[in-house]
């Protein structure tokens, strides 16, 4: 059972935190704004800091700027204002040192590209290779290990485009594992994934967290956030709230984040099933797995899932 939710509290902006503590070895997003060439400011004055050994959910409606923030962290777009530090380094340096791994959204990948599963995972090793990209025994061992960890060894000679959605996600996760980045960004890793695969991915993320990695996970799967995320960043073109899940992932904050996009079912009164206690039940849903609140506490219903 997840710890009861507490009242939302004021979150200290990353820029006000001493960089020697928060985000020093993890992710520091400090007053970042991103303006696209068409003049649209997709993210304004966003700040948060994540230390190693953290899984953080990035939550917001479609168009709230999640992918833009990922692109800024990956160096695909340059902030017009503010700075990103990865393990204390500027983005370009962190990328050169192979510190950041990225698991893309399925839509961002060309699945017709003829490439084998094991080749995709080997791409995670490219940064460790010399100019000629000749895989060493160590590189091959890391690829074998990564495929094994995600349960895709039997599929290694298959074309990536022939796999199911969940299998593709596992392969890209294996690529991130093979890369051995200390920072992993996952863009909607659970979209189109069955509950068994989701549970396997979550178990792997927990292992990585326990090994000291820091993960930022963009997700619409609200119901599972309290199960495995230590921290949450709520985004709506700017950071509405950021911090420990128990403090930030509250009904009030979610309603503020999602506004009319959130479907809210409230049931009051009658006892549920064999539960004798009468209490109110609220179900909040974005577009994937719903989040259930009993009174003001989010219920961890992981035991009821496959």
Ligand X SMILES: Nc1ncnc2c1ncn2[C@@H]1O[C@H](COP(=O)(O)OP(=O)(O)OP(=O)(O)O)[C@@H](O)[C@H]1O
Interacting residue ranges for ligand X, rule: CB under 6 A:
36, 38, 40, 42, 60, 62-68
Three-state SS sequence of 10-26: CCCCHHHCCCCCCCCCC
How wide is the angle at C-alpha 63 spanned by C-alphas 58 and 68, nearest 5°? 60
122 vs 125: CA distance, rounded Å: 5
CB of 229 to ligand X, least distance (A): 17
- What is the chain's Cα-based Rg? 20
User: Which of 160, 234, 150, 147 has its CA nearest to residue 198?
Assistant: 150
CB of 58 to ligand X, least distance (A): 9
User: Which of 267, 225, 272 has its CA nearest to residue 250?
Assistant: 225
Question: Toward ligand X, which CB reaches closer, 68 or 213?
Answer: 68
Question: Toward ligand X, which CB reaches closer, 40 or 271?
Answer: 40
Residue 91 CB contacts under 8 Å (≥ 6 apart), including other chains: 73, 74, 75, 84, 100
Distance, CA of 223 to chain centre: 14
CB of 192 to ligand X, least distance (A): 14
Question: Toward ligand X, which CB reaches closer, 250 or 257?
Answer: 257
Question: Toward ligand X, which CB reaches closer, 18 or 37?
Answer: 37
Question: Toward ligand X, which CB reaches closer, 219 or 282?
Answer: 219
List the helix and strand counts (H, then E) for the chain: 9, 14
CB of 12 to ligand X, least distance (A): 24
């Amino acid at each position: 059972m997840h710890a009861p939710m507490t009242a939302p509290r004021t979150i200290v902006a990353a820029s006000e935190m001493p960089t020697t503590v928060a985000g020093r070895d993890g992710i520091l997003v400090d007053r970042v704004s991103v303006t696209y060439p068409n003049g649209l400011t997709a993210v304004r004055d966003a700040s948060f800091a994540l230390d190693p050994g953290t899984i953080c959910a990035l939550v917001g409606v479609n168009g709230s700027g999640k992918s833009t923030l990922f692109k800024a962290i990956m160096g695909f777009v340059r902030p017009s204002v503010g700075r990103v530090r990865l393990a204390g380094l500027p983005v370009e340096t962190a990328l050169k040192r192979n510190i950041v791994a990225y698991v893309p959204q399925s839509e961002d990948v060309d699945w017709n590209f003829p490439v084998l599963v094991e080749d995709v995972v080997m791409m995670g090793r490219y940064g460790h290779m010399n100019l000629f990209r000749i895989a060493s025994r160590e590189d091959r061992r890391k690829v074998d290990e990564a495929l094994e960890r995600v349960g895709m060894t039997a599929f290694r000679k298959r074309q990536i485009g022939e796999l199911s959605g969940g299998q593709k996600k596992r392969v890209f996760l294996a690529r991130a594992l093979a890369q051995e980045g200390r920072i992993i960004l996952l863009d909607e890793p659970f979209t189109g994934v069955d509950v068994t695969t989701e549970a396997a991915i979550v178990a792997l993320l927990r292992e990585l967290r326990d090994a000291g990695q820091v993960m930022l996970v963009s997700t619409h799967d609200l119901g599972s956030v309290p199960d495995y995320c230590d921290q949450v960043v709520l985004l709506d073109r700017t950071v509405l709230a950021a911090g420990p899940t128990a403090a930030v992932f509250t009904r009030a904050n979610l309603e503020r984040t999602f506004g009319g996009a959130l479907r809210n079912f409230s049931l009051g009164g009658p006892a549920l099933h064999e539960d004798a206690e009468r209490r109110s039940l609220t179900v909040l849903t974005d577009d994937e797995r719903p989040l259930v609140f009993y009174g003001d506490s989010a219920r961890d219903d992981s035991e009821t899932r496959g």
